[in-house]
């Protein structure tokens, strides 16, 4: 996952919405556990400011 | 070097639910540590700050002008074509309330917990639970760059929407996409608002959710939106719909934004399991939120209080097993579950209605003669004219 920190509001919505519990909000930084992430894209879909995208 | 702490109860998260649990556990004589990840309790804001008044006494909170920003006379519900349903205090006493200063309210609750004897650790982010074999024995994290472990007889997970502690402990806290709302809110100034009324705009302006305007004084309000997760498309939907609504509303479009906050709420009727051996989930972490309004502060305070009281009882025998924690499940469910389920059904239906039907429903309730306005009586009035809207949960009305 890629985060655009110019957009991110650090609201933690992606953290609580991740079915894999693969995201951790460490202060103002989102940490992704690549081993847990299954690429479902839910965090990308629901972010209120479209700060997340799938890495290509 | 890992710093080690030992206590009876470790509470993760110093929001309203966590502080209430910590306070009631500490008042009962337990040794409590309350952990807060952020640098300030109650900030940054992640909330619309509207609450009803009636429940405060129930959980032992004395209203204090310090954290009451505005006292409301009522609420207004607006339909897509502008039909307006006004609820006034005289007719809607139980639903009308205050707009808070959350950064002060949350600190006041934490202060009560501290006065009761709870120790608060700030900037103490929890990153996992500690197990001894299968048994939960505490949490681990980092405070100011130093790793720590807190060993406790029971964990209270009050980590809000993120709800990770419960999941680390093996409780499923996931919600369906239809049971979450993606939210964004602006603090707007220099706007034209009805200063004494909380405003709710339902329908296509906010797919599956609503737009709110909660006054914070003259020309100032929290203007926000929730959009149902299943209706989000990855294109900054919450921000897109809020900007669109503001642009077409002249009284708002003329204003300026002085704060932007994001946030999420769950809109399910609470988790099936809010306890396991040596762990209790409270408030948003347990998904105990009004699914129709997204209001969670009173639910967090109630469930936090129940958790604290039950933990005091458990401490008498030293048994914090799921079976011993059962009174907690029973207390919050007896008090809130029927209403949560009814409002969840109402939310599900509302999300399916087209704008014309919503116009009709709002027109109906604004002309119906309802003595005491609350969700129950509103649904009853709707049931008479639009039975389809309440089909499947009539028995709860």
- CATH homologous superfamily of B50-100+176-266 equals D-Amino Acid Oxidase, subunit A, domain 2 (3.30.9.10)
pLDDT attached to residue B394: 74
B235 and A17 in contact by Cβ < 8 A?
no
For residue A12, list chain B residues with Cβ-Cβ distance below 8 A: 46, 160-162, 264
pLDDT attached to residue B61: 97
- Was domain B3-45+103-173+270-342 assigned CATH 3.55.40.20? no
Is residue A37 less than 8 Å (CB to CB) from chain B? no
The boundaries of the domain holding residue A38 are: 2-53
Q: Is B35 exposed, middle or buried (0-12, 13-18, 19+ CB in 10 A)?
A: buried
Q: What is the pLDDT of residues B146-195, one digit of tens each?
A: 999 999 999 999 999 999 999 999 999 999 999 999 999 999 999 999 99
How big, in percent rounded to 5, are the helix, strand and coil portions of chain A? 20, 20, 60
Q: Note whether B70 and B113 are within 8 A (CB).
A: no
With CA atoms as reference, the chain A residue closest to B40 would be A27
What letter would DSSP give residue B369? Answer: -
Q: Note whether A10 and B261 are within 8 A (CB).
A: no
For residue B263, list chain A residues with Cβ-Cβ distance below 8 A: 11, 13, 48
Q: What is the pLDDT of residues B267-301, one digit of tens each?
A: 999 999 999 999 999 999 999 999 999 999 999 99
Is the per-residue pLDDT at B307 higher than 80? Answer: yes
Nearest to A13 among B125, B182, B236 (CB): B182
Confidence of residue B92 (pLDDT cuts 50, 70, 90): low
Whole-angstrom Cα Rg for chain A: 10
Flag whether the ipTM exceeds 0.85.
yes
For residue A50, list chain B residues with Cβ-Cβ distance below 8 A: 234-236, 239
Nearest chain B CA: its distance from A52 CA (Å): 9
Please give the structure tokens belonging to residue B34: 């309350």
pLDDT attached to residue B165: 98
Q: What is the pLDDT of residues B232-251, one digit of tens each?
A: 999 999 999 999 999 999 99
Q: Note whether B40 and B127 are within 8 A (CB).
A: no
Is residue B302 within a helix (H) or strand (E), and if so which, with residue range?
Answer: helix B297-317
| Average pLDDT score over chain B | 95
Is residue A38 less than 8 Å (CB to CB) from chain B? no
CATH of the domain at A12: 3.30.70.20
- Domains identified in chain A, total number: 1
Domain range summary for chain B, segments of one domain joined by +: 3-45+103-173+270-342, 50-100+176-266, 349-396
The mean per-residue pLDDT over the stretch B40-65 comes to 95
For residue A5, list chain B residues with Cβ-Cβ distance below 8 A: none
pTM reported for the whole predicted model:
0.96
The mean per-residue pLDDT over the stretch A37-49 comes to 97
């Amino acid at each position: 996952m890629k985060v655009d920190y110019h957009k991110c509001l650090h609201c933690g919505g992606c953290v609580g919405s991740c079915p894999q519990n693969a995201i951790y909000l460490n202060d103002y930084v989102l940490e992704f556990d690549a081993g847990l992430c299954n690429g479902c894209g839910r965090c990308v879909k629901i972010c209120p400011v479209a700060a997340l995208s799938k890495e290509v | 070097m890992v710093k080690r702490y030992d206590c009876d109860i470790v509470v993760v998260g110093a929001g309203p639910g966590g502080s209430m649990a910590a306070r009631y556990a500490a008042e009962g004589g337990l040794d409590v540590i309350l952990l807060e990840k952020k640098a300030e309790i109650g900030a940054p804001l992640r909330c619309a700050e509207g609450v009803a008044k009636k429940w405060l006494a129930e959980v032992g909170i004395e209203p204090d002008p310090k954290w009451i920003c505005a006292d409301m006379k009522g609420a207004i519900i607006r339909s897509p074509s502008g039909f307006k349903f006004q609820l006034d205090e005289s007719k809607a006493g139980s639903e009308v309330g205050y707009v808070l200063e959350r950064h002060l309210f949350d600190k006041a609750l934490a202060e009560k917990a501290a006065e009761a004897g709870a120790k608060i650790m700030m900037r103490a982010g929890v990153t996992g639970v500690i197990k001894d074999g299968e048994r939960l024995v505490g949490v681990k994290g980092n405070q100011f760059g130093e790793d720590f472990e807190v060993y406790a007889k029971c964990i209270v997970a009050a980590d809000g929407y993120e709800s990770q502690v419960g999941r680390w402990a093996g409780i499923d806290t996931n919600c369906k996409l239809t049971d979450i709302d993606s939210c964004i809110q602006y603090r707007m100034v220099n706007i034209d608002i009805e200063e004494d009324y909380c405003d709710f705009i339902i329908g296509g302006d906010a797919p599956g959710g609503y737009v709110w305007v909660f006054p914070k004084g003259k020309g100032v309000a929290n203007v926000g939106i929730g959009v149902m997760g299943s209706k989000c498309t990855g294109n900054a939907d919450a921000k897109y719909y809020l900007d669109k609504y503001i642009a077409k509303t002249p009284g708002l479009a003329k204003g300026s934004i002085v704060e932007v906050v994001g946030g999420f709420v769950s809109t399910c009727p609470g988790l099936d399991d809010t306890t396991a051996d040596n762990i209790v989930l409270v408030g948003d972490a347990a998904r105990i939120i009004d699914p129709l309004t997204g209001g969670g502060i009173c639910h967090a305070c109630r469930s936090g209080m129940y958790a604290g009281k039950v933990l005091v009882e458990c401490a008498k025998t030293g048994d914090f097993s799921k079976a011993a924690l059962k009174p907690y499940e029973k207390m919050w469910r007896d008090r809130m579950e029927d209403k949560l389920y009814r409002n969840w059904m109402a939310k599900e239906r509302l999300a399916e209605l087209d704008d014309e039907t919503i116009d009709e429903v709002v027109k109906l309730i604004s002309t119906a003669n309802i003595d005491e306005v609350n969700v129950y009586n509103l649904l009853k009035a709707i049931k008479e004219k639009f039975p389809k809207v309440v089909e499947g949960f009539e028995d709860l009305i």
